[in-house]
Amino acid sequence: MEDAAISAGFLRVAGVDEVGRGPLAGPVTAAAVVLDPGFIPDGLNDSKKLSITKRTYLADILMEHADVSIAHASVEEIDTHNILRASHIAMCRALAGLKRPPDHVLVDGSMIPRDLAIPAQAVIKGDARCLSISAASIVAKNCRDRLMVDLAQQHPGYGWETNMGYGSKSHMSALQNLGVTPHHRRSFKPVHNILYQGKNIRY
């Protein structure tokens, strides 16, 4: 798809993707990537289909050889706006952080962020169909996973180092027994229900 955009006259094409829309805790993270046409790593694919070892390896390569920007939307922004809007905020921030602005953007999914002023194309399942979106998916997931591992050290017991904030059985049990942390998304129903039941909040 990058080739089609370049053939249409766009010279600097970025792929953008987000990770972390589904978890009950942690930010949503987006990455924007402009690949170097002379150095495209082998094995780029949807980050969910890669092993941790392969994903980490590719993320490191991309950080060295591509123009990469990573950004987040906070739990507070997720709760204020909704997860879709927060995802788009993170995408726009990631694009704004590139070393040089792209002149065309390939966006994973069916919707283009409303605040995006750059010509863009939405690509459904783009993380499996488009190299630059695949690269963005890999970088974003690698970054967010590391962030959740760090947060797990601050808030032990929720299993974030393995469930990455998703509502696994162990995470749900911890929510019931340990309460809601500042990193939980209060607008998400399982967390909201526990708060409504009057459980304690952890700080």
Residues 6+ apart with CB under 8 A from 18: 28, 29, 30, 31, 87, 90, 91, 108, 140
Q: Is 108 annotated as a binding residue?
A: yes
CB contact set of 146 (below 8 Å; sequence gap of 6+): none
DSSP category for residue 48: G
Does residue 67 have a known ligand-binding role?
A: no
What is the C-alpha to C-alpha distance for residues 144 and 161, in angstroms, rounded to an integer?
A: 11
Q: Residue 132 is encoded by which pair of tokens?
A: 């630059």
Whether 150 has a binding-site annotation, put simply, is no
Annotated binding site: 17-18, 108
Binding site listing for a divalent metal cation: 17-18, 108
